[in-house]
């Protein structure tokens, strides 16, 4: 419920009558949310926005007549209303969702495989609606979409240098926008490799990696089995696999494990954090960012116990303050940091590759 005691007024836009009804029923289970109307496509949605001035819009990505991407462009241009996209679990759906986030959508949620599974997304959808209504997401709003980094010596100078330090980042709801804000501010000569777990469905993590890679000095890619952990690189755990690190003769590399879910997730932030705590000890840095639930809290505690540094994104800049809140309450966080200051704190914590190390890496 909003600070004035009024319910959060939501417009549901979907071309499927069944989905409109099911989504509306999900939202109205919460006494802080009111569905004020539904619309069958973007054109009708724009008309109802003018009439009703909702607080949040849920917008299907793929619709006939006026699709979600086109409608989103009009909403962002003309109305100060947060939009949560609903996407299909397909490669096309993932690509469209990344476009929507770039155009200004504050978050997204995947549609369930069938009407009988709508209940599974209810908690996540309600949480994201509430987060969107509070304006807690630091959205890019096209801020970086026209920026393209030309990779040359600056981006590749650290490659070939073993990463003696690692920064592990865990995020969930609101994470794509938070990462889109954070990663472009990390220099390619950071003296650590970034390992990232972002809770996302299959097909979405590879799209997220490409989306981020376009705007970063760092090389950003979806992690593969055996990827060498080197400075100047950010590796995102693929959906449906836990990401860990293992020691090899040349240093450390990524290992992917297809096992049971942990804390309801695969990949799990806890699995990554525990692994880097064991392998890197005091040279590990853990960052817990916006997200629902508690995944990552215990692993962050293990990093702290091993002598590593631990950071949490602050409440004011989180879309959903679940994961950071649990870690803070357990006493596992060294510093609580606004998203706007996170990059500078990480650079200060791990340093940058020295000119000596750079020249040695290049000569090899």
Q: How far apart are CA 12 and CA 8, in angstroms?
A: 13
Residue closest to 186 by CA, chosen among 199, 196, 201: 196
Q: Which residues contact 38 (CB under 8 A, 6 or more apart)?
A: 11, 12, 13, 14, 20, 24
Q: Distance (Å, rounded) from C-alpha 324 to C-alpha 128?
A: 16
- Say how far apart CA 49 and CA 298 lie, in whole Å: 43
Find the catalytic residue in 60, 213, 227, 295. Answer: 295
DSSP states along 177-226: HHHHHHGGGS-TTBSSEEEEEE---TTHHHHHHHHHHTT-SSEEEE--TT
Residue 29: partners with Cβ closer than 8 Å, 6 or more residues away: 122, 126
Classify the phi-psi angles of 254: left when phi > 0, otherwise alpha if psi is within -120 to 50, otherwise beta. beta
Strands (E), the chain: 8-13, 33-39, 56-60, 83-87, 107-110, 166-171, 193-198, 219-222, 233-236, 242-248, 251-257, 284-288, 309-313, 335-337
- Tell me the CB-side half-sphere exposure of residue 62, using CA atoms within 13 A: 14
- Of 172, 203, 275, 319, the active-site residue reads 172
Question: For residue 213, how many other CB atoms are within 10 A of its CB?
Answer: 18
Q: Is 111 helix (H, G, I), strand (E, B) or coil?
A: coil
What CA–CA distance (Å, rounded) separates 295 from 293? 6
314 assigned to active site: no
d(CA 309, CA 291): 20
Contact assessment for residue 280 and residue 308, using Cβ atoms and an 8 Å cutoff: yes
- Residue 172 catalytic? yes
Catalytic residue among 14, 88, 199, 213: 199
Please indicate whether residue 55 is annotated as part of the active site: no
| Residues with a known catalytic role | 172, 199, 295
């Amino acid at each position: 419920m909003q600070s004035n005691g009024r319910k959060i007024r939501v417009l549901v836009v979907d071309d499927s009558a069944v989905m409109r009804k099911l989504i509306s029923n999900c939202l109205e289970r919460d006494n802080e949310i009111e569905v004020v109307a539904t619309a069958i496509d973007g054109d009708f949605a724009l008309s109802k926005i003018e009439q009703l001035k909702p607080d949040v819009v849920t917008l299907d990505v793929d619709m006939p007549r006026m699709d979600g991407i086109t409608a989103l462009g009009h909403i962002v241009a003309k109305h100060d209303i947060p939009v949560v996209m609903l996407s299909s679990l397909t490669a096309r759906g993932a690509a469209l969702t990344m476009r929507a986030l770039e155009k200004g959508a504050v978050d997204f949620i995947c549609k369930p495989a069938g009407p009988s599974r709508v209940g599974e997304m209810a908690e996540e959808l309600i949480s994201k609606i509430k987060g969107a209504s509070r304006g807690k997401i630091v959205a890019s709003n096209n801020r970086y979409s026209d920026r393209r980094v030309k990779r040359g010596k600056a981006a590749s100078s650290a490659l070939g240098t073993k990463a003696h330090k690692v920064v592990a980042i865990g995020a969930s709801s609101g994470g794509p926008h938070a990462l889109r804000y954070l990663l472009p501010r990390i220099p390619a000569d950071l003296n650590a490799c970034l390992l990232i777990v972002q809770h996302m469905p299959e097909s979405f993590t590879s799209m997220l990696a490409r989306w981020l890679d376009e705007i970063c000095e760092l090389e950003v890619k979806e992690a593969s089995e055996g990827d060498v952990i080197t400075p100047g690189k950010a590796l995102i755990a693929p959906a449906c696999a836990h990401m860990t690190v293992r020691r090899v003769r040349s240093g450390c590399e990524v290992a992917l494990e297809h096992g049971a879910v942990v804390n309801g997730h695969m990949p799990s932030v806890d699995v990554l954090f525990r692994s880097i705590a064991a392998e890197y000890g005091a040279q590990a840095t853990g960052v817990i960012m916006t997200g629902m639930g508690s995944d990552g809290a215990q692993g962050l505690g293990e990093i702290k116990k091993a002598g590593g540094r631990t950071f949490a994104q602050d409440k004011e800049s989180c879309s959903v303050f679940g994961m950071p809140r649990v870690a803070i309450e357990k006493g596992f966080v060294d510093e609580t940091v606004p998203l706007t200051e996170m990059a500078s704190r990480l650079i200060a914590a791990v340093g940058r590759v020295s000119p000596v190390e750079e020249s040695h890496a290049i000569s090899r």
